[in-house]
Each structure stands twice: as C-alpha cells, then as structure tokens.
C-alpha cells in the first residue's frame, strides 16, 4: 500500500514517482510534484518533454505504469477520467467540447445539469432539457460562472464568439464542475496579444477560487502568473522552483528558455 504524501499542509494535487512508457519511449520518468491550495503551478518544457502524457495521467485518461496521483490527500490513481471531476478536478482546453449551436449561458447550464459528463452521451436529447433550462435559478448560476470567467456576451451563440471568448467559456464550464483544481492546457494558444493579456488577468484572479496546474508556452504569461514552475525535459523533472529560480538556472536556459529569454 502506498502511503499518503506527508507534508505540513496537504497539497490539492500530489504526484509521486509517476512513470509511463509507450514501448521503447519513456514518456514520463519518476515524476513527483505538488500543487498547493490557491497556487498557480506552471508546467513547462520543450515539445516532446512529456507534458501531455503527464496531464493525461493526472486527468485519468492514461494509467501510469508506476507511481500515484493524489487529490486532496486521496489516492485517485485507479479512478477513471469521468470519475475525477466529481472530486473537484476539471481539465480545459485539450479538446473543445462546446455546443456551438447554443449560447454561452446554455453551455454552462448544461454543464451544471450534467456534471457527471452525461451531456456528451445525450447530445441529441437537448429537447428533454428545455424545461430545466427555463429554471431561473439554474440560469442565475450559469451567469455567475460566466461572470467569474469574464465573459460578457452570455446570449451569443458559441459559433459567433471569438477564440478568446470560447476559452473564457471553457473556464466557466470547468468552474461549474465545482473544481478545486483546474488543469489548463495552453490557454493562450492561438490568442492575440490583447487576448493573452486578458486571459492572464483572468487566471490571476481565479486563484481566489481554485488551484491551477498550467501548461503554457507563453513565457511572459508563465512568469507573470506562476507561484512555482516545474520544468520537464525528456520526461523527467529538471527543476521545480520560483520564477526567479527557474529563470536563473543555467540548465533551464540551456534546455528550454535560451539565454536571451532568461535575461528578458
């Protein structure tokens, strides 16, 4: 039996010695890290470093070959992906699963109705939910999450929202799952400079509501947001530290940042 992580304050997420192979490819190697309550913890590394494989193990889409995943002091390693959101974990941005034909408020309301993931199985049964969607209290809840995500056009069809607004909607849906931990996979990808600045401000404010594990290639955003950063290289943790420690580490500059980026 694997013992629970022992710390003075139990982290919201703790990874212990995660290992994953795909044939000859050693995708993650003995990875241990934790995310503390109210923390934004960034995970960075070059392409092919194993970030997506690691997130897959955290979210339950992949089962580790060795090691364990703990959420709020509970070992969730054996739980399937659809069982984890009920315990307070939500993942956004890996694949958009928005209902483009409905407006933003309806998307969040559907997430509230089917927090167990059932909406994907019942995409064709929208008419069965129409009476529920007329519930004023439900729609007030949906609007509250949209407000938390900074989305100001709740009644516009998702197909007409900008790329940045869709990202905000995905955050609102994740928050509607009562998430204590958000796994955010490249939230700034494809955004303009203005959209990235707005998203950075939004994520900074969300630390009041939940902890965040952030995968992001926009280093300006990472350095602005992260309380701590873990650098992953060739599937292994190179370093976990503060922004200053990571920026000043010669191995990080060599493996990922480059001298010019580290000096900026």
pLDDT tens readout for residues 158-192: 999 998 899 899 999 988 888 899 999 888 888 88
Longest dimension (CA), the chain: 60
Has residue 196 got a pLDDT over 50?
A: yes
Predicted TM-score (pTM) of the model is 0.84
Has residue 15 got a pLDDT over 80?
A: yes
Lay out the sheet containing 66-71: strands in order across: 25-35, 13-22, 66-71, 74-75
Q: Which of 23, 178, 191, 201 is nearest to 86 (CA)?
A: 178
Which residue intervals of the chain bear CATH 3.40.50.300?
1-88+179-264
Domain 1-88+179-264 sits in CATH at: 3.40.50.300
Half-sphere exposure of 224 (CA within 13 A, CB side): 16
Contact indicator for 246, 225 with CB cutoff of 8 Å: no
In a 3-state reduction of DSSP, which class is residue 23? coil
| Per-residue pLDDT tens over the stretch 146-160 | 999 999 999 999 999
- Residue 31: per-residue pLDDT: 97
The highest-confidence range among 66-75, 139-148, 181-190, by mean pLDDT, is: 66-75
Instruction: Find how far residue 6's CA is from the centre of its chain.
Output: 24
- Residue 3: per-residue pLDDT: 45
Has residue 8 got a pLDDT over 70?
A: no
First to last CA, the chain: 47
Mean pLDDT computed over every residue of the chain: 85
- Residue 256: per-residue pLDDT: 65
Has residue 239 got a pLDDT over 70?
A: yes
Q: In the chain, what percentage of residues exceed pLDDT 70? A: 84
- Report how far residue 114's alpha carbon sits from residue 162's, in angstroms, rounded to the nearest whole number: 25
Question: What's the whole-number mean pLDDT along residues 16-26?
Answer: 95
| Per-residue pLDDT tens over the stretch 77-114 | 999 998 998 899 988 764 457 888 889 998 998 888 76
- Residue 169: per-residue pLDDT: 93
């Amino acid at each position: 039996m694997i013992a629970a992580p022992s710390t003075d304050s139990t982290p919201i997420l703790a990874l212990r010695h995660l290992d994953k192979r795909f044939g000859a490819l050693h995708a993650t190697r003995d990875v241990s890290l934790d995310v503390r309550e109210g923390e934004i913890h960034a995970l960075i590394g070059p392409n092919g470093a194993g970030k997506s494989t690691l997130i897959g193990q955290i979210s339950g889409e992949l089962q580790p070959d060795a090691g364990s995943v703990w959420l709020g002091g509970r070992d969730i390693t054996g739980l399937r992906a659809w069982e984890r959101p009920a315990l307070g974990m939500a993942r956004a941005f890996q694949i958009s699963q928005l209902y483009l034909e409905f407006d933003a408020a309806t998307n969040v309301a559907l997430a509230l109705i089917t927090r167990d993931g059932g909406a994907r199985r019942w995409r064709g049964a929208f008419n069965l939910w129409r009476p529920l969607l007329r519930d004023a209290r439900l729609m007030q809840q949906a609007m509250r999450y949209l407000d938390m995500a900074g989305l100001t056009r709740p009644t516009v069809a998702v197909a007409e929202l900008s790329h940045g607004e869709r990202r905000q909607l995905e955050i609102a849906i994740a928050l509607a799952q009562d998430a204590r931990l958000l796994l955010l996979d490249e939230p700034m990808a494809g955004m303009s400079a203005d959209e990235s600045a707005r998203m950075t401000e939004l994520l900074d404010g969300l630390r009041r509501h939940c902890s965040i594990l952030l995968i992001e290639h926009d280093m300006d955003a990472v350095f602005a947001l992260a309380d701590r950063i873990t650098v992953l290289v060739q599937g292994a943790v190179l370093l976990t530290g503060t922004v200053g420690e990571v920026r000043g580490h010669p191995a990080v500059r060599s493996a990922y940042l480059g001298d010019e980026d580290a000096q900026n």
